[in-house]
Each structure stands twice: as C-alpha cells, then as structure tokens.
C-alpha cells in the first residue's frame, strides 16, 4: 500500500466507478509503483468528479444555471485544494479553452495530443496519458485524463449560452475561453502530479 493510498481511504470508498475501466496510454515505466500510484490518481480524480457533479446537480435543482456557475467558481477550486491536501498530489483541471486554469506547457502538449487521438477515432472516455519524468532532481509521475463534454455541460459551455448567464460567467471569469463546445468534444482534462512513491 502506498503512502497516498493510506492518506485517501475515504476517497477510495466514495467512488463508485471502477478505476480498472479507465485505460491509460502506455508510459515510460510499468513497474508496480507506477501502477499502484496510477490507481490512486484515478481514484482521486473520480472522487473529484463525483463530488463536483453532485454539488452542481444540487445547485441546478435549487437555483438553475446561475447557481451552478457559482458552484464552479467557488466550490471547484476548494474541492481541488481539499483533495490535493488530503492526497499529497497536485490536482488540476485545465483545457485548451480554459475558463480558469491555463495549461502548463506540458499539459498543453498532452491536450493537443488528446485532440489528435480523438480526431483519429479514439473515444474521449478512453483518452488518457501518463509519464515518469525527472523534475528538479525528483522523479514525478504525471497523469492526465480527458474530460468529455456532455449535454448538460452545454448550458454554460455550449455555442448558444443564455445572454444573462454569459454575462455572469464573464463577470466571474473575465478571460473565459470555455464556450463554443459541442457534445462529445474534449472539454479539457484532469491533471495529477506527484513524486513517484517508489
């Protein structure tokens, strides 16, 4: 059991999806430490998705899209911060058309590769990537998983966003680029990085 697995038992219990159902692209190493840490990454990512989705659904039911935008603006960064602190990982949500978090150089390269893989026919649900990389003398495991644009996403991220809602989005995110998507597009990706626990 890795150090991170011990730190996040509640996250592992909270996610109902099977991490085995989420394939990754072969990376530079396939040893047991990498496999174990990737499983932890996927559980953390799923816990993030499940928590955010639940809060967004509750906000939509209580106050519609305006309330949901508020959740994205306030709660999404808090959920990311809480999971990062609990797991010891650096968790990020980014995109080639970001609303809040610009991709780093390496994240941008991976996102561009994701778009090529989608164009070549790979289903978005199967698009993921990882690598082991030495950064400032530390061996790190980097992981990214594509996020598919679902129908419900189009209310705030589609091509025909309600003008009042768009005005509120622009107020919260003055540099917003995250509109114009269609269902099935790659909305962005979850990125997780940490020292390799080997």
pLDDT tens digits, 86-109: 999 999 999 999 999 999 999 999
Instruction: Kindly state whether residue 181 falls inside one of the protein's structural domains.
Output: yes
Range of the domain at 43: 29-195
Helix axes 32-87, 163-172, angle to 10 degrees: 90
Q: Among all chains, which residue has been given the structure tokens 């150090």? A: 3
Q: Which of 2, 75, 97 is nearest to 43 (CA)?
A: 2
Convert 25-56 to b/e letters by CB count within 10 Å (16 or more is b).
bebeeeeeebebbbbbbbbbbbbbbebbeebb
Residue 24 has pLDDT above 50, yes or no: no
Which two tokens mark 174?
Answer: 């003055």
Instruction: Kindly state whether residue 15 falls inside one of the protein's structural domains.
Output: no
Residue 16 has pLDDT above 90, yes or no: no
CA distances from 127 to 111, 147, 168 (A): 10, 9, 32
Instruction: Kindly state whether residue 129 falls inside one of the protein's structural domains.
Output: yes
Which CATH number covers residue 183?
3.30.450
Convert 103-135 to b/e letters by CB count within 10 Å (16 or more is b).
beeebeebbeebeebbeeeeebeebbbbbbeee
Instruction: Determine contact, residues 149/185, Cβ cutoff 8 Å.
Output: yes
Instruction: Kindly state whether residue 6 falls inside one of the protein's structural domains.
Output: no
Please give the model's pTM, rounded to 2 decimal places.
Answer: 0.81
Instruction: Kindly state whether residue 22 falls inside one of the protein's structural domains.
Output: no
Which two tokens mark 148?
Answer: 């598919």
Instruction: Kindly state whether residue 21 falls inside one of the protein's structural domains.
Output: no
Percent of the chain with pLDDT over 70: 84
22-26, 33-37, 150-154: range with lowest mean pLDDT: 22-26
Output the pLDDT for position 33: 92
Question: How many domains does the chain fold into?
Answer: 1
Instruction: Kindly state whether residue 8 falls inside one of the protein's structural domains.
Output: no
Which two tokens mark 19?
Answer: 């991490």
Instruction: Kindly state whether residue 5 falls inside one of the protein's structural domains.
Output: no
């Amino acid at each position: 059991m890795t150090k991170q697995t011990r730190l996040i038992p509640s996250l592992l219990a909270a996610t109902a999806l099977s991490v085995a159902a989420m394939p990754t692209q072969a990376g530079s190493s396939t040893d047991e430490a990498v496999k174990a840490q990737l499983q932890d990454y996927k559980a953390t990512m799923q816990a993030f998705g499940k928590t955010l989705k639940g809060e967004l659904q509750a906000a939509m039911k209580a106050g519609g899209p305006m309330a949901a935008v508020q959740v994205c603006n306030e709660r999404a960064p808090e959920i990311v911060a809480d999971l990062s602190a609990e797991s010891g990982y650096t968790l990020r949500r980014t995109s080639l058309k970001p609303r809040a978090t610009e991709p780093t150089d390496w994240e941008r390269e991976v996102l561009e590769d994701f778009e090529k893989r989608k164009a070549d026919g790979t289903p978005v649900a199967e698009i993921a990537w990882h690598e082991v990389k030495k950064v400032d003398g530390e061996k790190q495991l980097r992981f990214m998983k594509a996020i598919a644009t679902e129908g419900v996403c189009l209310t705030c991220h589609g091509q025909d966003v309600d003008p009042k809602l768009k005005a509120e989005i622009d107020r919260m995110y003055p540099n917003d680029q995250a509109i114009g998507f269609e269902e099935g597009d790659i909305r962005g990706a979850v990125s997780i990085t940490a020292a390799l626990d080997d």
